[in-house]
Chain A
Amino acid sequence: MDAAEKEIFIEGHPCVVVDSVRMRYRVASTASSDADADTPKPRFLRRAVNKPNMVTVHALNELSLVVERGESVGIIGRNGSGKSTLMKIISGQSKPTSGAVYASSTPIMLGVNAALVQDLSGDQNVVLGCLAMGMSRAEVDRKFNSIVELSGLEKSIHLPMKSYSSGMASRLRFAIAASVDPEILLVDEALNTGDAQFGDRSKRRMDELREQAGCVFVVSHSLDTIKDMCTRVVWLDKGDLIMDGEPGAAIKAYQDFTRHLSKGNNISAAKILEDAKANLVATEVRGRSSRRSRG
C-alpha cells in the first residue's frame, strides 16, 4: 500500500474513465418514518399533505475506474449491489448524483431492456430503433435482414409488438441493439435470452461484437461467463467497491463469500468482505490534457 502514494501514469487514451461516480435515489418507503413522530400531525393531514416517507438509497458509493482499450471488465456482486446502476451510469441512461463518466465514444448497452413501441409492428420497431441509434435509412435497409434473422422472428416480424411474447420481444431487442458495432460495449445479462437455439445465435453475435469492440463491460450472474470473457473483474457489494483486479482472484473471493452466506456463516462472509476491502486500492482519477506529465 506504500505504492498508493505515487501517481501512476497511464499511456495512451483510455476508453472509459469513471470519475468519482456516486448514485443516490430518493424513494418512497412504506415504513413509517421516525421523523414524523417528533411533530405529531393529525393523521388525515399527514396523509393529504405529506408525501410518503422518503428514504435515500445509496445505490452506488463513490467509485472510480479507468478502463483501457482491450480490457473486458466483468462486474459481479449480489442482487442490489449496484451492478446495473453502474452499467446504466456508464451507458448514460442515468445521471450519477455526483461525478461523471468520460468515454471515447458513445457506449452502447446491449441488453434486454432496449425499449420498443408496443403499437408498432416488429419491422417498424427495427427501423425505428436503428434510426434512433443514429443509423441512416440506407444502413438500416442493409442490415434489416440480418437483424430479422438474428431475432429469429420470421413472419411474426410484421405483427404488432403487443402480440409478442416476452421472449420474442427480448430477442428482437437484442437483435436491434446488436446491429451496431460499438467501440464500447455494455452487456447486461443478455446472454440468457430466449431459447437454446437463439442462445447459440446470440452468443455468436456477441462474440463477434466483443472481438470488434475496444472495451467491454459485462454484468452476469454466471461466473463462468465472466471467467470466459473478462480480463478484469470488479466486485461490488451494497454499492461499495470490494475488489478490482484479476478475474481468478476476484471470482474466487466472491465464490467463497457467497458460499459462506448461503451456509449462514454471516460472520465469516463478512470477514472475507473485510479482508478484500482492506486490500483494496481505490483509484483516483487525475485528468491531464497534455501527453506527458512531470513525474
Chain B
Amino acid sequence: MSADSAIDEEPVAVQPLSVDMRRLTRVGSRPNFLDYLVQLWDFRQFIFYDARARVQSGTRRDRLGSAWLLLNPIFNGLTYFLIFGLLLKTSKGIENFVGYLVVGIFIFQFSSGAITSGARSIRNNKSIVQAFNFPRAALPIGANVRELLSAVPLVLAMLLIVVVLPPAEEITWLWILVVPAILLQSLFNLGVGLILARIISRVHDVTHLLPFVLRAWMYGSAIFYTYDRFVTHPQVLALIKLNPLFNVIDIVRDCVLYARVPQWQSWAILAAWALGVLAVGMVYFWKGEESYGRG
C-alpha cells in the first residue's frame, strides 16, 4: 500500500482481450427484488438455525439462565408500579392497573428488544457477513425470529401474571387474538429493524441514539397512564392513537383484561403499519445489499 502522494502511472503497453461475458455474473451483485426474496426463502434453514441456536446461548453466561428473559420485564414492571402506581398515581381511573401495566411493559419490551437486535444484526455479525455470501436480510430476519421465539415464554408469563395477581382475570376465547396481534407486531419490528440495520451499517452513531428514541416511544405509548386522561384535544388524541405499539398494547389489553373485542380500527392501524413498514424496510434494505460488511 502506498500513501496518497505516490505514483502517477506511467503508460504501459496494453493488450486488449475480447472476452465472452455471457455466462459471467458480477461478483457480489445485488439480485432483483423478487430473486432476492426467493434467495431468502432458500436460506430459511440458516435463518431458523441461527435464531434457535442463539436463543439457547443468549443467557448462558448468567447464573439464572433463561429465567432472565422473564425476570427482566417483571422487575421493570415492579419499578414502574412503584413509581407510577404508588407515587405518582397515574393509575387513577384505570381498571386493574397491575394488569394494565404488565401488559404494556411486556408487549413494549418485545418490540424494543426486537427492534434493537434487528437494527444491530448487521453490525454485530460483520464477520459472518464478510465470510459468507448469503442474502443479508437473513440476519435481521433471524434476529426477529429469535426475539419472537424468546417472546413465547414471555407472553405466557404475562398471561399467568394476569390470571394470578388480583384482580384475577378470567380466560376467554378472546385470548387467542393475542397471537395475531403479536405476529403483526413482529412484522412491524422486522420492518423497523431492517431500516435501522441499513442506517446503522453506514452511520454507527445511530446505535447510541436508539435507546433514547425507544424510551421516548415507551413513555409515549400509554403504558402506565391512559391517553384520555392527559390529552384533551380530540385531534391530537386521534393522532397519538395512530402509534402502532399503542395499538398492539390496546388490543392485547382489550382481549386479556377487559374481555372485549378489540375495535377493528385498532387492527386496521396495526396491520397497515406492520405491512407498510415491512415493505418499505425490505426494499430499503435490499437496495443497500452490496454495501453491508464492506469497506
Contacts and interface: CB of A to CB of B under 8 A. Distances in A.
A131 B20 contact: no
Interface string B214-249: 000000000000000000000000000000000000
A132 B128 contact: yes
B18 interface: yes
Given A13-B20, A136-B45, A282 B27 contact: no
A282 B12 contact: yes
A10 interface: yes
Contacts of A131: 43, 45-46, 49-50
Interface stretch (B2-10, B72-80, B157-165): B2-10
A102 B28 CA distance: 9
Which of B18, B290, B293, B295 has the most C-beta atoms of chain A within 10 angstroms of its own C-beta?
A: B18
B22 A58 contact: no
Nearest to B124: A117
A233 B134 CA distance: 31
Which of A6, A58, A93, A113 has the most C-beta atoms of chain B within 10 angstroms of its own C-beta?
A: A93
B15 interface: yes
Nearest to A31: B3
A119 B60 contact: yes
A280 interface: yes
Given A115-B127, A131-B49, A239-B2, A103 B15 contact: no
A234 interface: no
A106 B74 CA distance: 49
Overall SS of chain A's interface: mixed
B14 interface: yes
B291 interface: yes
A61 interface: yes
A10 B19 contact: yes
Interface stretch (A40-48, A205-213, A254-262, A283-291): A283-291
Contact of A95 (B22, B42, B45, B291): B291
Q: Which of under 10, 10 to 19, 20 to 34, or 35 or more describes the interface residues of B?
A: 35 or more
A57 B1 CA distance: 6
Nearest to A137: B45
A289 B21 contact: yes
Interface in A95-115: 95, 100-104, 106-107, 109, 113-115
B133 interface: yes
B16 A92 contact: no
B15 A283 contact: yes
B32 interface: no
Contact of A277 (B12, B125, B294): B12
A240 interface: yes
Which of B2, B19, B25, B128 has the most C-beta atoms of chain A within 10 angstroms of its own C-beta?
A: B19
B21 A287 contact: yes
B49 A104 contact: no
A62 B4 CA distance: 15
Contacts of B20: 10, 12-14, 288-289, 291
B173 interface: no
B1 A102 contact: no
A120 interface: yes
Given A13-B20, A106-B133, A160-B57, 17 more contacts: A4-B13, A10-B19, A13-B23, A57-B3, A61-B9, A95-B290, A102-B24, A114-B131, A115-B127, A120-B53, A131-B49, A132-B131, A134-B42, A280-B12, A281-B12, A284-B15, A286-B18
9 contacts: A66-B19, A81-B1, A90-B27, A92-B27, A95-B290, A102-B27, A137-B49, A160-B57, A282-B12
